[in-house]
């Protein structure tokens, strides 16, 4: 199987798992939580793109964000992504470390300014990064 096929399989598995979590929350009557979860990854993508365009973010932090995006796009990780939960755990740790570096450099006001999602999702991001 080629690299692109593995990438597509991993992406499809992730999307199915992600969508199933959203559906479970809707069925359980937690629509607000489902809406926050459904928008969490797009909100993170928007946050990173806004931070990359902001001239107040130092180049070193922008380089970390670009490296993070490259790492997350790779189909192979320390723990493969097709392994449920554990496969995404290493990604979460890397994201938290990059965000922690950004926040420790005085970037919390920037993150708050550029966060497009709900406040409770931002609180989760800040808590994971701290």
pLDDT tens by residue, 39-77: 677 777 888 888 889 898 889 988 988 888 887 777 666
pLDDT category, 24, cuts 50, 70, 90? confident
Q: Return the closest-CA partner of residue 40 out of 99, 97, 123.
A: 123
Tokens 């005085």: give the residue: 106
* CA distance linking residue 130 with residue 108, whole number of Å: 11
Give residue 65's pLDDT.
86
CB distance 98 to 68 below 8 Å: yes
Tokens 């995006």: give the residue: 69
* CA distance linking residue 31 with residue 46, whole number of Å: 22
9-23 pLDDT, tens digit each: 776 776 677 677 667
**6, 9, 19, 22, 122 from 31: Cα distances, Å:** 33, 29, 13, 9, 18
pTM, to two decimals? 0.64
Residue ranges with strand state E in the chain: none
Lowest pLDDT segment from 10-19, 89-98, 108-117, 120-129: 10-19
Give residue 1's pLDDT.
66
């Amino acid at each position: 199987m080629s690299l692109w096929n593995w990438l597509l399989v991993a992406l499809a598995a992730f999307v199915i798992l992600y969508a199933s979590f959203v559906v479970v929350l809707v069925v359980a009557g937690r629509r607000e939580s489902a809406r926050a979860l459904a928008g969490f990854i797009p909100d993170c993508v928007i946050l990173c793109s806004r931070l990359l365009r902001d001239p107040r973010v130092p180049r070193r932090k922008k380089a970390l964000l670009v490296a993070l995006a490259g790492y997350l796009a790779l189909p192979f990780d320390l723990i493969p992504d097709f392994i449920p939960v554990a496969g995404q755990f290493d990604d979460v740790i890397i994201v938290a470390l990059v965000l922690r570096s950004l926040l420790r450099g005085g970037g919390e006001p920037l993150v708050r300014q550029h966060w497009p999602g709900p406040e409770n999702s931002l609180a989760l991001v800040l808590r994971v990064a701290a």
